[in-house]
Structure 1
């Protein structure tokens, strides 16, 4: 009988991918980002706004979740393993350019997509979402504390905040879709361990 996709890998075939710190940072960030996205939808989609009601409460949840968004990453910096992963995400090497060219050509052969612990797509996503979160935080603060900036700046901040929020929602949907299509990657974030064969296939340059 074939084991289910989410069945744990045999002990000898599993390698450690993430420690407790990385998994906690990811979960906490995912929860806070989820609150931001859901509350934003409730504020801007009329049908949801009518369904949920209590606009003041939704606004407060959105504001405080957005303000807390950087906290898991800042706390995670106390972990050596988390800092090591950040350094890997911040380095873009020649193999990453090969990976990107293959992705743009829609070349799905694993041999044409070399990757270390993180592939080029994951590195770009991490950099983009971190930058977007900082811009959202800055523009959100201008909208929240109206005395921080003149009216023309707040108007621009509202425009950037709203449209960037829509973009973040689309990118997050793509991120979640990719995760749903890879149960082994999800297992790595849930348990910290992945199958050795998966690691060799998806991240051949990674040496766990």
Structure 2
């Protein structure tokens, strides 16, 4: 006699992970190296322009040399990490501005703090604008800094204009960086995501609802494009 068939087992519900992968190792190290170089640039610039710090530190020639080489090396971490597919994909997302980003900005201007009023993909509109501004400011600072460094390559009027732009843009950059650090200090989950590469699912659903379904599918070979 044949044995009786086994009773059908109820289908098991798929357990969703409690954490989602947000940044790769290459992205995190590029961010850390860029932050370190930026910090050195800001500190050395402060020592060059504030008399109190200049007297305290001394060694002006050494500070100038450190500021010059650190500024010249500022784009290197991102350029070195371009071999990372994850970084290239994130740069593409940062360079893409959709209708949901405009809705996010309108909600910020109206001070509407409801999560439903601020739809965001992996990066919200504020992060995209900051990334674009930081990239442009870094290139301008690099170009004007090189004019001030290699004085024999440009005429005096160019160097004068470069000094004016470099100084005032440095002040603006310091203010924006302070705001960036303040925003990061107010969001411990986002800081942990940059430090460890992972964020909680609850945070992703609340802060980046349009990105969370795509983050689940990063475990699969197919990837859903960002909604336009």
- After TM superposition, is the score higher than 0.5? yes
Deviation at 1:76, TM superposition (A): 1.0
Rounded Cα–Cα distance in structure 2 between residues aligned with 1:127 and 1:148: 29
Deviation at 1:131, TM superposition (A): 0.1
Rounded Cα–Cα distance in structure 1 between residues aligned with 2:91 and 2:209: 19
TM-score, normalization: structure 2? Answer: 0.86
Deviation at 1:147, TM superposition (A): 1.3
Alignment counterpart, residue 137 of structure 1, candidates 134, 142, 165: 142
Alignment counterpart, residue 21 of structure 1, candidates 16, 23, 26: 26
Rounded Cα–Cα distance in structure 2 between residues aligned with 1:78 and 1:109: 38
Structure 2 residue 65 is the aligned partner of structure 1 residue 67: no
Which stretches of structure 1, 4 residues or longer, exceed 2 Å deviation after superposition? none
How many aligned positions are there?
Answer: 198
Deviation at 1:12, TM superposition (A): 3.6
Which has a greater percent of helix? Answer: 1
Rounded Cα–Cα distance in structure 2 between residues aligned with 1:108 and 1:38: 35
Deviation at 1:107, TM superposition (A): 1.1
Higher RCO (Cα < 8 Å, 6 or more apart): 1
Which runs of 5 or more residues in structure 1 are unaligned? 1-10
Rounded Cα–Cα distance in structure 1 between residues aligned with 2:122 and 2:17: 20
TM-score, normalization: structure 1? Answer: 0.94
Alignment counterpart, residue 196 of structure 1, candidates 201, 204, 225: 201
1:137-194 per-position Cα deviation (integer Å, ceiling 9, x unaligned): 0000000000121000100000000000000000000000000000000000000000
> Which structure: larger Rg?
2
